Structure 1
Amino acid sequence: MGIESVLIMLVVGAVAGWLASLIVKGIGFRLLGNMALGIVGAFVAGLILPRLGLSIGGGFVGAIIHATIGAVILLFLIRIIKRA
């Protein structure tokens, strides 16, 4: 994996984490937290969405949407665990 791929992954993770924290009110992280949330969210969405039969287009915008969906799922799980 080249340096360009790593930088794109970090940017997609940061944008996806930021968008997910806007969608799920009350839970927000700083830049590094948003990057981690977006990257892990992309992994989670990569596991869940194909099993549901959902496919999102490729490219930069598709990667952001994909990672945002996974990050929102993660934030909802975090919220449920905190309430328990």
Structure 2
Amino acid sequence: MSFIVWILIGLAAGAIAHRVLNSRGGFFGSLVVGLVGALVGGELAHLLRLNVTNGFLDQLIVATLGSVLFLFVWKKVFS
């Protein structure tokens, strides 16, 4: 997957996570949350042995779930 697609997935996943958890985050906040969430979601998918393809929708779902989890933990620890 190209670098630009990876950035777009991270940005979308971060924005969705901010909406789900009703938190504030601008462009860079959403991007960081989305990229970290993609790493978290990817690791969880690997640990759970989920068969995730390289499709855009699969990657977006994994990144979004990881982003929501990451942002939830972040808010609990630092609030």
TM range (shorter): 0.7 to 0.9
Highest Rg: 1 or 2?
1
The structure 1 residue matched to 2:15, chosen from 10, 15, 18, is: 18
Superposition CA RMSD, Å: 1.7
Using the size of structure 1 for normalisation, the TM-score is: 0.81
Percent same amino acid among aligned pairs?
29
**CA–CA separation in structure 2 for the residues paired with 1:63 and 1:19:** 14
How far does residue 15 in structure 1 lie from its aligned partner after superposition? 0.5
How far does residue 8 in structure 1 lie from its aligned partner after superposition? 0.7
| Number of matched pairs | 79
**CA–CA separation in structure 1 for the residues paired with 2:46 and 2:68:** 17
Structure 1: state its 5+ residue gaps: none
The structure 1 residue matched to 2:42, chosen from 11, 24, 46, is: 46
Structure 2: state its 5+ residue gaps: none
